[in-house]
Amino acid sequence: MTRLEENSEPAIEIRRLSFRYQGPTILQNVSLTIRSGEMVAIVGPNGGGKTTLLKLILGLLRAEHGEVQVFGRPPRRSWAQIGYMPQHSHLDPDFPVTVLDTVLMGRLGPTHRFGPMGRKERELAMEKLEQVGLVDKAHQPLNALSGGQRQRVLIARALVTEPRLLLLDEPTANLDLRVENEFHQLLRKINRTLTVALVSHDLGFVSPLVDRVVCVNREVRVHPTSEITGEVISKIYGGDMCMVRHDHDCAGGAPC
């Protein structure tokens, strides 16, 4: 963490949070602070509670015990400052919509009123497409894009509300290793002005990007990236996982 982040206000502050849907406890006694300007990875096994944690930070779910604050306020009062890319976009890739329209959909929602999109909104959407490197695709149908490009469109959609905090649920799910470097650069660029929390199953992908890894498996433990060893990984994933190496080129099909 840089000195700036150490002294900056918390973007997310969670105190003694516990949560269950109807059955067993999903998250237990979670305390966590993410400072403005940080980029953290949220990792853990399937069903460990990562998406649930993001939904609590968004205010889509309410904690049974404890408290969540985003920029010092309850999440719903900070909605305008949060951009969210969900794990499963409900967008049918075959729905006949352009890339630009998809990004503009980010302006619809609880904090932005319905109505025709004006020039200002369209300019903003083009600016965000420029930021993710897809401005030349703006008028193409969404279904003409690759999975990785669609992923970037969804990031532009999350950015078009001009948030201060960006939550990304599995942004790397459709990426192959060839575009990984490009994606790292994009996230670093975004993190110059925004706090970023990204859920990933891929520790190898996220570890060069972040200083801290938030491990979620009912309880939450935060580790500096430098501490992520084989032993820590098997504690998080119960030994079913190894860290994929990303520091050599496997584009030629070599096992990696």
Ligand X SMILES: Nc1ncnc2c1ncn2[C@@H]1O[C@H](COP(=O)(O)OP(=O)(O)OP(=O)(O)O)[C@@H](O)[C@H]1O
CB atoms under 10 Å from CB of 180, counted, come to: 18
- Which residue, 48 or 83, is less far from ligand X as judged by CB? 48
Helices then strands, each counted (H, E), the chain:
8, 9
Distance in Å, CB of 71 to ligand X, minimum: 23
Q: What is the largest CA-CA distance in the chain?
A: 54
Please spell the DSSP secondary structure of 91-109, one letter per residue.
--TTS--BHHHHHHGGG-B
- Minimum Å gap between C-beta 41 and ligand X is 13
CB of 26 to ligand X, least distance (A): 5
The pair of structure tokens assigned to 114 is: 């319905």
CA–CA separation, 169 and 10 (whole Å) = 21
Could you tell me where the DSSP H helices lie in the chain? 3-7, 50-58, 99-104, 119-131, 147-159, 180-191, 203-206, 230-237
- Which residue, 62 or 77, is less far from ligand X as judged by CB? 62
Q: Are 158 and 166 in contact (CB under 8 A)?
A: yes
Contact 133, 152 (CB under 8 A): yes
Least Cβ distance, residue 133 to ligand X (angstroms): 27
Residue 130 CA: distances (Å) to CA of 78, 104, 195: 26, 14, 20
Distance of CA 207 to the CA centre of its chain: 14
The token pair that represents 159 in the structure block = 């950015």
Report the nearest approach of ligand X to the CB of residue 169 (Å): 8
Nearer to ligand X, 50 or 157 (CB): 50
d(Cα 58, Cα 70) in Å, to the nearest integer? 8
Residues in contact with ligand X by the rule CB under 6 A: 21, 26, 44, 46-52
Residue closer to ligand X by CB (options 51, 149) is 51
Distance CA 184, CA 190 (A): 10
Nearer to ligand X, 48 or 75 (CB): 48
Nearer Cβ to ligand X (21/95): 21
Least Cβ distance, residue 50 to ligand X (angstroms): 4
* Residue whose CB is less far from ligand X, 145 or 233: 233
Cβ–Cβ under 8 Å, residues 40 and 210 = yes
Closest approach, Cβ 204 to ligand X, in A, equals 16
